[in-house]
Amino acid sequence: MTRDHVLAVVKKHLMDTVEDLTEDKIDPAKSMKELGANSLDIVEVVSSAMRELKVKIPRSELSKLANIDQLVDMLIKVAGEGGGAQA
């Protein structure tokens, strides 16, 4: 699983969820809130990305994330630890 692939998945779900958001406006160094996402949007984006990538991140870990880059890093890390094994 490459970083570019994970970032593309997160971007896709972000654009699907946040109205009027285009790929060129997405800066991975920004938080989803800075890009116009509310808390429900963020939950939807993260949940959709985890489902598509078949990984699970504990809520306690998600609360520590400050921006999209950190979310991508966390998704890759969990996938690398075998977090993709879901029943």
pLDDT bracket for residue 42 (50, 70, 90):
very high
- Phi, then psi, of 72 in degrees rounded to 5: -60, -45
What are the helix (H) ranges across 1-86?
Answer: 3-17, 39-53, 59-62, 68-80
Query: How many Å is the Cα radius of gyration of the chain?
Result: 12
Answer yes or no: are the C-beta atoms of 2 and 75 closer than 8 Å.
Answer: no
pLDDT at residue 15 greater than cutoff 80: yes
Domains of the chain: residue spans and CATH:
3-80 (1.10.1200.10)
This prediction has a pTM of 0.90
Distance between CA 82 and CA 69 in Å, rounded? 20
